[in-house]
């Protein structure tokens, strides 16, 4: 039996060191001693998540409880997981449910030591949801199971759940048997920022050589993953949230394809009558997630048509294609989706590549993707086989806090504090109030308090969950912020409903942009 205190001690030890090797060793040591039924919950907690997802516990409930901490550690991993199950089962609202939820939480925290209680409050409040440990956790699972990290990483991509992958690895299961399953989403492959078109082409090889590259439109839309088996179609977002009911047009289109089973990767966006893309926020409204900072009066009057474009095919009629080169996957994709293939030029000359980028911008898209045609499909940003090229540089950052405005902005939450993802949390690298419309300010003021951890007379501090896309003119060395860098002329582009904090740009990415 493993005590919660041992998990908390390992988490604290990991946070106290900057050494990746030391972090991996600490986590692997703990993972190796876990009982089989402890692996999934403990792995989730160490990555800042809960198996139960949301439990309905908000910061008001957490702050309303005044526990009397235990003197010694007695709570086991199983005890805590069972308590979280009970909390998650107390769904709904109302005085009775709220009281029972507070009583259950109070009993859990009363049984915890002071350190364990702090850990649980941060876990329940979302403050451990940093996502920065994902890569280290994969290495730790591999070390504890004495198996190659590549095998763990691939099984994680295909299962979509790190706790499930850890359980398979640590109980002697066959990671190689974890394969692609139609109707189970795969963690998506992501692109790395490219410095420029010329730099991307130079890094990936001669564009018109062998194997060469493809230069595709980078749509200003929302990532989708579409699965079909017979007449059944299901659609997921980039965060693997199912959105099938929100996109009937995509479901109908996929049912009409001449296949029995298929797994497609692509994007969808709202389009105007002339076929040009509508703003990103309207695409997110079309997915039922709600728009952040948009003028809803105009958008609500528009009948949105969500059009999908596909850029990859991972499976077709019983044949998995993940390990095939992109060139082969793209040929299959073209056969399957026809004119829904994302616009692009295969093995272009340098001049043709420049023309393809110009065409994408002229069509109202946000830029281009340059992809190596020999690249296989790998979840996350593994290497730089896919690179996105945009006319201006943007970063996806996390909102750490927001200050109340003054003057014309009095009464609105305005100036946001920006954080990049570090190994043990988020590192502040700047502030901005530029690029915000009145609608954005209204949305911030209405929404940010839902993520509040605490406040002072000037600032509301938030759980690190909201992702915002920031356009910058550059990055410079600075001692003003903890990250050692500062953003030049940072401006809000949009809030990213489609991304989690775990997908925010890292502090290393930001530092690499220093002039």
Query: What is d(CA 435, CA 292) in angstroms, rounded to the nearest whole number?
Result: 13
The b/e string for 374-384 (b: 16+ C-beta within 10 A; e otherwise) is: bbbbbbbbbeb
- Per annotation, catalytic residue among 23, 218, 371, 390: 218
Residue located via tokens 């017979």:
230
DSSP string, 486-505: EEES-EEEEE-TT--GGGSP
Residue located via tokens 């001693």:
33
Smallest Cα–Cα separation from 47: which of 171, 116, 138, 178? 138
Smallest Cα–Cα separation from 474: which of 505, 515, 433, 506? 515
- To 5 degrees, how large is the angle CA 465–CA 153–CA 463? 10
Q: What is the widest separation between alpha-carbon atoms in the chain?
A: 71
Residues 6+ apart with CB under 8 A from 287: 222, 237, 243, 246, 247, 268, 306, 498
Query: What is d(CA 236, CA 224) in angstroms, rounded to the nearest whole number?
Result: 6
Omega before residue 211 within 30° of 0, cis? yes
Instruction: Note if 499 is an active site residue.
Output: no
Interhelix angle for 134-145 vs 36-46, to 10°? Answer: 150
Query: What is d(CA 328, CA 147) in angstroms, rounded to the nearest whole number?
Result: 30
**Which H helix or E strand runs over 511?**
helix 507-511
218: left (phi over 0), alpha (psi -120 to 50) or beta: beta
Query: What are the start-end ranges of the H helices in 112-237?
Result: 114-125, 134-145, 149-159, 162-170, 197-204
Query: What is d(CA 106, CA 115) in angstroms, rounded to the nearest whole number?
Result: 15
Smallest Cα–Cα separation from 405: which of 440, 450, 451? 440
Residue 185 three-state SS: coil
Which positions are catalytic? 218
């Amino acid at each position: 039996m493993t005590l919660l205190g041992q998990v908390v001690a390992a988490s604290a030890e990991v946070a106290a060191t900057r050494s990746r090797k030391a972090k991996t060793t600490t986590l692997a040591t703990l993972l190796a001693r876990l009982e089989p039924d402890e692996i999934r919950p403990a792995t989730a907690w160490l990555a800042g998540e809960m198996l139960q997802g949301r439990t309905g516990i908000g910061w008001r409930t957490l702050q309303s409880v005044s526990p009397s901490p235990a003197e010694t550690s007695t709570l086991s991993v199983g005890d805590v997981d069972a308590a979280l199950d009970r909390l998650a089962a107390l769904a709904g609202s109302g005085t009775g449910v709220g009281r029972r939820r507070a009583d259950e939480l109070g009993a859990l925290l009363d049984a915890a030591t002071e350190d364990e209680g702090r850990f649980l409050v941060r876990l329940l409040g979302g403050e451990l949801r940093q996502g920065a440990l994902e890569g280290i956790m994969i290495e730790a699972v591999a070390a504890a199971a004495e198996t190659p990290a590549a095998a763990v990483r691939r099984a994680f991509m295909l299962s979509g759940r790190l706790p499930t992958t850890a359980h398979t690895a640590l109980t002697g299961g066959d990671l190689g048997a974890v394969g692609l399953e139609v109707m189970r989403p795969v963690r998506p492959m992501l692109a790395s920022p490219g410095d420029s078109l010329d730099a991307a082409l130079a890094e990936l090889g001669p564009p018109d050589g062998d194997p060469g590259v493809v230069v595709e439109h980078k749509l200003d839309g929302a990532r989708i993953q579409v699965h079909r088996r017979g007449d059944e179609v299901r659609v997921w977002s980039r965060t693997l949230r199912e959105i099938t009911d929100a996109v009937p047009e995509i479901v109908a289109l996929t049912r009409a394809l001449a296949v029995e089973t298929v797994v497609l990767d692509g994007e969808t966006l709202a389009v105007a009558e002339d076929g040009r893309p509508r703003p990103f926020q309207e695409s997110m409204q079309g997915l039922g997630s709600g728009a952040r900072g948009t003028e809803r009066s105009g958008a609500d009057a528009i009948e949105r048509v969500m059009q999908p474009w596909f850029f990859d095919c991972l499976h077709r009629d019983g044949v998995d294609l993940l390990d095939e080169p992109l060139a082969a996957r793209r040929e299959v994709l073209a056969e399957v989706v026809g004119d829904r293939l994302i616009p692009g030029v295969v093995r272009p000359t340098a001049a043709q590549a420049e023309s393809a980028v110009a065409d994408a911008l002229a069509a109202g898209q946000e830029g281009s993707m340059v992809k190596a045609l020999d690249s296989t499909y790998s979840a996350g940003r593994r290497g730089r086989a896919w690179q996105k090229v945009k006319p201006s540089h943007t970063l996806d950052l996390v909102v750490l806090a927001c200050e109340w405005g003054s003057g014309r902005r009095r009464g609105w939450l305005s100036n946001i504090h920006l954080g990049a993802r570090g190994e043990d949390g988020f590192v502040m690298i700047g502030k901005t109030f530029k690029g915000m419309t009145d609608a954005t300010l209204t949305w911030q003021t209405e929404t940010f308090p839902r993520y509040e951890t605490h406040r002072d007379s000037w600032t509301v501090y938030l759980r690190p969950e909201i992702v915002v896309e920031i356009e910058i003119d550059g990055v410079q060395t600075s001692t003003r912020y903890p990250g050692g860098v500062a953003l030049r002329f940072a401006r809000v582009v949009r809030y990213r409903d489609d991304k989690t904090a775990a997908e925010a740009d890292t502090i290393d990415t930001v530092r690499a942009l220093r002039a």
